[in-house]
Chain A
Amino acid sequence: DAKTTQPNSMESNEEEPVHLPCNHSTISGTDYIHWYRQLPSQGPEYVIHGLTSNVNNRMASLAIAEDRKSSTLILHRATLRDAAVYYCILRDVDDSGNTPLVFGKGTRLSVIA
């Protein structure tokens, strides 16, 4: 799987939007972009994923650059419960499906009240 680069940490004020960047300059045409997050003292949980088009769900939005070399996870209104480590992961759609996701170190998001 291609490599991703994320900032180690970010900070946001409560109720403001948060843009979490991810660079993946070596992404291949068949790589999906996945985002997971890990709340304190819990296992990671799925947030969102996409291939080329921007995606929205109840948790977040995913904006994918036109060249797909970067993406941004958008939390529209950060709450204290959004404080977590956010992981950006690439997954090849042609993969057999049996190999696991590879987690990097992610971005630790702090939310200030």
Chain B
Amino acid sequence: DVKVTQSSRYLVKRTGEKVFLECVQDMDHENMFWYRQDPGLGLRLIYFSYDVKMKEKGDIPEGYSVSREKKERFSLILESASTNQTSMYLCASSQPLHSGETQYFGPGTRLLVL
């Protein structure tokens, strides 16, 4: 079974802190994604990567950066956390999403910024 793991299920940080959210997948997937999910807004794409050292902005990249130094690991970085970044963060991975490929999600990290 594909496994996507995220470094923390719950995280509490203070405004202005630098925050790292780590995601690791064990199926040699080429694509990796970071979403955030907020009540009433659904899943919104922050960044994605289709290869090592490659990254693409999603719909809401402002205030975030990402790093993909190894194929299995995709990190989301909040350079200076703010209270409006309090959210559930979901990582996903997949092979190239032609017709029937599946996107696999991690369990999520619930981040609270005080």
Contacts and interface: CB of A to CB of B under 8 A. Distances in A.
Interface of A: 32, 36, 41-46, 49, 51, 91, 93, 95-106
B92 A98 contact: no
A95 B102 contact: no
Interface residues of B, number: 29
A44 to B, nearest CB: 5
B84 interface: no
If over half of A's interface residues share one DSSP class (helix, strand or loop), that class is named, otherwise mixed; here it is: loop
B103 A100 contact: yes
B97 A43 contact: no
A100 B92 contact: yes
Contacts of B103: 36, 44, 46, 100-101
B45 interface: yes
A32 B100 contact: yes
Interface of B: 4, 31, 33, 35, 40, 42-43, 45, 48, 50, 56, 58, 90-92, 95-108
Contacts, number: 67
A101 B33 CA distance: 10
B90 to A, nearest CB: 5
Contacts of A49: 99-100
B92 A51 contact: no
23 contacts: A32-B100, A42-B107, A43-B105, A43-B107, A43-B108, A44-B43, A44-B92, A46-B102, A46-B104, A49-B99, A51-B99, A98-B31, A98-B48, A98-B97, A100-B33, A100-B48, A100-B58, A100-B92, A101-B103, A103-B35, A103-B43, A104-B42, A106-B42
Nearest to B9: A41
Contacts of A41: 107-108
Contacts of A106: 42
B100 A100 contact: no
B31 A100 contact: yes
Contacts of A51: 99
B99 to A, nearest CB: 4
Given A44-B103, A103-B42, 5 more contacts: A43-B92, A98-B48, A100-B103, A101-B103, A105-B42
